Structure 1
Amino acid sequence: MRKKYIVNIVFGIVLLLLAGLIFYLRLRKPEELRTVMEINGQEVAKEEYQIVIKRYQAQVKSQYSTEEANQKDFWTTEKDGRTPLAVIMSLAEEDLIQKKTAASMAKEKGIDADMDYTSIKASLEKENTSRSGKEDSGNVMYGLSSYTEGDYYQYVYTELEAQLMEVLKKEQDITREELEAAYQESRDAYSYETGVTMLIAETKSENAALLQDAVKAMEEGKSREELTEVFPDISFYELEMNTLDTQEGKSGVYSIRWILASAMREGEISQLFTAGQNSLVMKCLKREDDGVLPFDRIEGTLKSQMQTKKASSVIENEVKKAEVKEKRSRLEAAAKEILLQQQDE
C-alpha cells in the first residue's frame, strides 16, 4: 500500500513537471526558441548565426587541401588539434561580438537602427519589394536589383559601423601638438619622388581650337586671372600633383594628366590632350624632386587617421568587455545544419 502511494506521488510530480514545461514553452516567443547566443543582452537567432557561418565557409575551406575540403566528414575531422567546425564557429562568434557590440554602442550614441534578426529580415523584404517595383516600372535603380539575405545582413551592419565610427571620431580630441608629433615621426610616409604645380586650361572638346590661342597667351606669361578674362569659355586652374597624390579622380579619367605632368620641366607647356569629354593643355609652374608634403597639406588627413585609430580603440575595448552567453549545443547544431546542407548542394 505504501509502495503504491509513493509511485502515485512520483507519477504526479512528473505530470506536474511536464505540464509546467509545456506551459513554459507555450509562453515563450518563437524567436526565443531560435536563440543560440546572447551578446550584451541582444539575442542572436539561429538563422542569423547561420548567415555568419556561411560567410566564413570559403575562408575556412581555403586553409585546407581540396581533397580534405571535399571529404564528407571534413567539418568534424580534427587537424592540428582542432576541427574546421571549431575554427568556423570561433570566427563566427568573433564576428557577431563585433557586430552586436557596435549595435549596442550605436544605440547608446542615439543612432536609430533595429539590428535584431527579425527587424533586419523585415527590412530586407521591404527593400527587395521596393527594388522590384522600380525595376518593373522602369525607374532608375542604383546597385543590385535585389539583395540576398547574407549580403543585406552584411550591408546593414557595415552601414551601422560606419555611422558609429563617424560619431566616435568626432568625440576624439586631437591637439595640434599631437598632430605635429605624429607628422615628425612619420615624415618618410609623406615624402615623394616627383612633385609639380601645373597651370591647366580645360574646356569642352568642341572648344579645343580656343586652346591654341590660350597656349600663346600662356607662353607670354599671362596670369590665370588674365587668361580667364580673355578666354571665358576655358577653365583655368592651378593643381599640385605628386607621386603620393596624382589627382586622377575617382574614375581615373585624369590619369593622363599626371602621366604628362610628371615628365615636364618648369616652364614647359604640353601638347593638347583629352581627358574624358574635355580637351586640356598644361604649363608646368614648378617642379620639385625628392620632396616632402608640408604639415599644413596633410594636417586634415592626419587628424582623420588619428581620430579613426582612437575610435577603433574605443570599439575594441568595448568588444573585449562584451557579455556573451552561449548555448553551445544549439550553436554547434546550427553550424552543422547549415554546413552539411551547403556540402550536399
Structure 2
Amino acid sequence: MRFRFMTAAIILIIVLGVLGGWVFVRQDNLNSNSTIALVNGEPISYQELLQVMNHMRSLTQADQLANKALQTLVSNKIEQMWAKQKGLVDRIDYAHFHQQWKEENLRRKEAVAKKQPIYGPTQYSEGDYYRYVQSNVVIQLKDALGKNEFAQTTNQLKAQYESIKEQKFKKPASIRIQKLVLSSKDSLAQSKMEQARAALLTGEAFEEVAKRYTSQSGIEQFFDANRRKQDSELYATLIEVSENLAIGQISQVFQDADKWIIVKCVERTKDEYEELDNVKSNVQAIYTDEQYSLQLAVKMKSANVEINREAFDQIAKD
C-alpha cells in the first residue's frame, strides 16, 4: 500500500479517538513488518508497536495507549541507534529481534531437555524478551559512555562527590533520643502533645513533662548505626524524624501509626561519609545516568519522527 507519512515533533500529538477495545487484531492489509513510523529513517514495525501496546494496556487509558506506546518506542529506537553508532549492536530492526527471540527460546528448550542449568524463565514471551534486550542495550550503552564521553577526571569526580555526598554517601549516625508518646485513641492526644512541646521549649526537663502528660514507662531510645537497616523496618518514621534533629533539638508533634510523638535528640555521633576511593564507581555511575538522560532528551527533541497515518489510524480503530 502507498504510505502517507506525517512528520511530527517528538512530543507526539496524535488525534486517535477512543480505542474500541483492548485486544489488537491484525488487519488484512497489515502484517508484522508493516512500517508504522520512522525515527530518523529507522522503522518501527506493526508487531513492535503491538507488543508495547499490549504491555502498557493495563496501566494506560485506552485513548492514550497508542500515543504513549509510540513515544516509548521512539525513545527505545533512539537508544538502539545510539548503541549501534557505538558499535554495541549490529542490527536494530524488529525482524532481527524476532529471530533472536525464537533462537533464544529454542536454546532454552534444548537446555531444559538436557537438564542443563538456565538462568531466568524456561521460555520468554515476546514482550518480556524485548524488554530484557532493550534493558541490556541501555546497560551496555551507559557502560560504554561512562568509560569514554562521560568519563570524569579525578578533579571532576571529587567535585561531583562533594556535591552529592550528603544525599548519597552519608553514613547513618548512632542516635539517642528522648520521646513522648500518646495513643491517638485519646481524642485530646494531639492537643496534650502540643502543650507538652510548649513546656519542653521553655526548658522544662523532659522527664517532668513526660510524667505530667504521659504514663509511659521509659522515655529514652537508642538507634545503633550498625542496626539501621533492621531498626528502619520497625521505626521508619521515628528514625526519619530523629535523623534530622541536631543535639538538643525538639521535633514537631507528629503522628506515627496510632501514636502522637515528640522527639528530642540528646546524643548523636558525628556525621561521617563513605570515602571517595570506595565509591568512585558509584559517583561515575550517577554522573553517567545524569548525562545520559540529558543527551537522550536532546536526541529525542531533534529526532525526525514520521508516522504512517493510514496504518496508525487503522490500529487505533481496532
What are the residue-to-residue correspondences of 1:268-287 with 2, within 5 Å?
Answer: none
Quote the residue 2:92 is aligned against.
Answer: 115
Q: How far 1:335 moved relative to its partner? A: 4.1
What are the residue-to-residue correspondences of 1:222-261 with 2, within 5 Å?
Answer: none
Quote the residue 1:175 is aligned against.
Answer: 153
The answer to whether the Cα contact below 8 Å between 2:32 and 2:46 also exists between their aligned partners in 1 is no
| Identical-pair percentage | 21
Counterpart AA for 2:57? Q
Counterpart AA for 2:160? A
Quote the residue 1:332 is aligned against.
Answer: 313
What are the residue-to-residue correspondences of 1:42-61 with 2, within 5 Å?
Answer: 42-61=42-61
Q: Indicate how the Cα distance of structure 1 residues 109 and 31 shifts in structure 2: closer, same or farther if over 3 A, else same.
A: farther
**TM-score of the two chains, using structure 1 as the length reference:** 0.52
1:163 and 1:42 map into 2 onto residues whose CA distance is 21
Q: How far 1:32 moved relative to its partner? A: 9.4
Q: Indicate how the Cα distance of structure 1 residues 35 and 108 shifts in structure 2: closer, same or farther if over 3 A, else same.
A: same
Structure with larger RCO (C-alpha < 8 A, sep 6+) = 2
1:194 and 1:169 map into 2 onto residues whose CA distance is 32
**Unpaired runs of 5+ in structure 1?**
1-19, 22-29, 62-83, 196-240, 247-287, 338-345
Describe the SS at the equivalent of 1:37: strand
Quote the residue 2:272 is aligned against.
Answer: 292
Aligned pair count reads: 201
Quote the residue 1:259 is aligned against.
Answer: none
The answer to whether the Cα contact below 8 Å between 1:36 and 1:44 also exists between their aligned partners in 2 is yes
Q: Indicate how the Cα distance of structure 1 residues 53 and 335 shifts in structure 2: closer, same or farther if over 3 A, else same.
A: farther
Q: Indicate how the Cα distance of structure 1 residues 302 and 132 shifts in structure 2: closer, same or farther if over 3 A, else same.
A: same
1:128 and 1:54 map into 2 onto residues whose CA distance is 20
**Unpaired runs of 5+ in structure 2?**
3-29, 175-223, 230-267
Q: How far 1:31 moved relative to its partner? A: 6.8
1:245 and 1:158 map into 2 onto residues whose CA distance is 32
Deviation track 1:42-83 (CA, whole Å, cap 9, x = no partner) reads 11111111111112111114xxxxxxxxxxxxxxxxxxxxxx
Quote the residue 1:191 is aligned against.
Answer: 170
2:170 and 2:33 map into 1 onto residues whose CA distance is 59
Quote the residue 1:72 is aligned against.
Answer: none
Does residue 76 of structure 2 align to residue 99 of structure 1? yes
Of 148, 153, 165, 2:142 maps to 165
Of 107, 122, 147, 2:124 maps to 147
Quote the residue 2:294 is aligned against.
Answer: 313
Quote the residue 2:10 is aligned against.
Answer: none
Deviation track 1:212-263 (CA, whole Å, cap 9, x = no partner) reads xxxxxxxxxxxxxxxxxxxxxxxxxxxxx966997xxxxxxxxxxxxxxxxx
2:82 and 2:302 map into 1 onto residues whose CA distance is 12
Quote the residue 1:255 is aligned against.
Answer: none
Q: How far 1:146 moved relative to its partner? A: 0.6
Aligned-CA RMSD value:
2.9
1:37 and 1:173 map into 2 onto residues whose CA distance is 35
Describe the SS at the equivalent of 1:193: coil
Q: Indicate how the Cα distance of structure 1 residues 37 and 306 shifts in structure 2: closer, same or farther if over 3 A, else same.
A: same
Q: How far 1:109 moved relative to its partner? A: 0.6
The answer to whether the Cα contact below 8 Å between 1:37 and 1:324 also exists between their aligned partners in 2 is yes
**TM-score of the two chains, using structure 2 as the length reference:** 0.56
Deviation track 1:247-283 (CA, whole Å, cap 9, x = no partner) reads xxxxxxxxxxxxxxxxxxxxxxxxxxxxxxxxxxxxx
Describe the SS at the equivalent of 1:139: coil
2:292 and 2:285 map into 1 onto residues whose CA distance is 10
The answer to whether the Cα contact below 8 Å between 1:192 and 1:292 also exists between their aligned partners in 2 is yes
The structure having more radius of gyration, on CA atoms, is 1
2:97 and 2:89 map into 1 onto residues whose CA distance is 13
